[in-house]
Structure 1
Amino acid sequence: MAGGFRPIDREGLAAHLTERITGRSGRVRVLVDGAPPAGPVTLARSVAELLRDRGRGSLAVDADDFLRPASVRLEFGHTDAGMFLDGWLDEPALRREVLGPAGPDGSGSVLPRLRDAVRDRAFRDGPVPLGPEGVVLLAGGRLLGRGLPAELTVHLRMGRAALERRLAPDQAWTAVAFARYEAEGDPGAHADVLVMADHPDRPALRDR
């Protein structure tokens, strides 16, 4: 495939990421970035399961469980693309509760969920201990280019036409925001592993 990409299936992609992670010692933070139809959370959970099968503690965290309160993120309405890009994610909470503790000098105790966005109230989860060789996989959209600390970054790139075909009707408005994210943020340039995901079951990957 042109451009250094090679075809792979979803199982192979999960196995490839697992191999890259297990090649590192100590705690590892992984960002799996992509719009919902590209399946970043599903991929992160698959990798976490493979890691646990190998005896390595791991936790997949859904970034949508770390959104800011509705009064803040919906200040300009439910479909404001600018706020969706830059004002929905609770970055300080992700750093404080997930990525900081999972870092080499962190406590190793990671909060799996913070806020129920549907009910707009906090979950009651307690921290999960990762251990000295633990792995946290933070998955969701709009994660790259923010300076979030990680040892491995993955971007699942989906073109706008494919995205518009696959987005749920109530999420169709986000296609504009994700197109801006690709054009202005160039998340692929920040990714250690870039995955072309227009056909999620038949992706192609390129390692940096």
Structure 2
Amino acid sequence: MRADDTRRHAVLVAVAQHLAGRDPGHPLRVGIDGVCGAGKSTFARELVAELVRLGRPAVHLDSDGFHHVRARRRRNSDDQARGYYDDAYDLEAVAERVLRPLGPGGDRRYAVAVHDLETDAVLTDVEADAAEDVVVVFDATFLQRGRLREHWDEVVFLRVDEAVATQRGVDRDAAALGGTQEARAAYDRRYMAACRLYLAEEDPERRASIVLDHTDPSRPMVVRLGT
């Protein structure tokens, strides 16, 4: 294993061991937070794999399954940043159909997705049942907005330099957004601009229980591990 791989693996192990030691009496609800391009989905998948390796059952939920319908997402064309911040994700569904059922007194039947991004279809019956000891890892931007944050048992915030995150996002999304120039404009006006609103309004790094510096994903650093 290369030195960089060893460094990343060590951080993943540290976070996984911390989470595996938690027993709240219901499924452990873990949010992976950070700006667009922070590397949330990749980190979430690798964390789930490490938890399973440690013997703790774990599942990954992706925010792509929790968008609002297209008309809602695009209704505020005048202020793209505010439109993305307020209308991209169905955070109410995350709270009511995922986090509450998995929390204290919940029936542990949760939605895997509420929306199909490709077809724009609303989904009402894509559900699963959670074991009491499972760790449910959900990655999303804006997941500590308002009252939503009270439903997480742990939040991992990936701190990333904005310029680095933007470049990652542009590289990743250029083909889907019509090219590099178009992708950069979209990040400037919509995606990263919305993340700035989130950082200013919610101070998510301060509120997170776990903070990692993820500017170089091959060499992440633990800033805070548990509160």
8 Å CA contact 1:145–1:190 kept in 2: the answer is no
State the Cα deviation string for residues 72-118 of structure 1 (Å, max 9, x = none). 12102397100211222212211122111111311112222221223
How far 1:13 sits from its partner (Å)? 2.5
Alignment partner, residue 81 of structure 2: 81
Alignment partner, residue 107 of structure 1: 107
Q: 1:163 to 1:104 in 2, by over 3 A?
A: same
CA distance in structure 2 between the partners assigned to 1:201 and 1:147 by the alignment = 33
Aligned-pair RMSD on alpha carbons? 2.2
**Does residue 40 of structure 2 align to residue 33 of structure 1?**
no
Name whichever structure is richer in helix by fraction: 2
TM-score (norm 1): 0.86
Alignment partner, residue 221 of structure 2: 204
Query: Which of 12, 18, 21 lines up with 1:20 in the alignment?
Result: 18
Aligned residues: 201
SS of 1:56's equivalent? coil
Query: Which of 158, 164, 178 lines up with 2:195 in the alignment?
Result: 178
SS of 1:175's equivalent? helix
Q: 1:47-196 residue pairs with structure 2 within 5 A?
A: 47-77=47-77, 80-123=80-123, 126-148=126-148, 149-168=151-170, 169=174, 170=183, 171-173=186-188, 174-196=191-213
8 Å CA contact 1:33–1:155 kept in 2: the answer is yes
CA distance in structure 1 between the partners assigned to 2:118 and 2:94 by the alignment = 19
TM-score (norm 2): 0.79
CA distance in structure 1 between the partners assigned to 2:137 and 2:78 by the alignment = 28
Amino acid at match of 2:98: V
Gaps of 5+ in 1: 1-7
Q: 1:127 to 1:156 in 2, by over 3 A?
A: same
Sequence identity (%): 26
Alignment partner, residue 178 of structure 2: none
State the Cα deviation string for residues 28-83 of structure 1 (Å, max 9, x = none). 10011023422111211222222223333221111221011111121023971002
8 Å CA contact 1:57–1:130 kept in 2: the answer is no
CA distance in structure 1 between the partners assigned to 2:49 and 2:61 by the alignment = 13
Alignment partner, residue 177 of structure 2: none
8 Å CA contact 1:157–1:197 kept in 2: the answer is yes
Amino acid at match of 1:19: Q
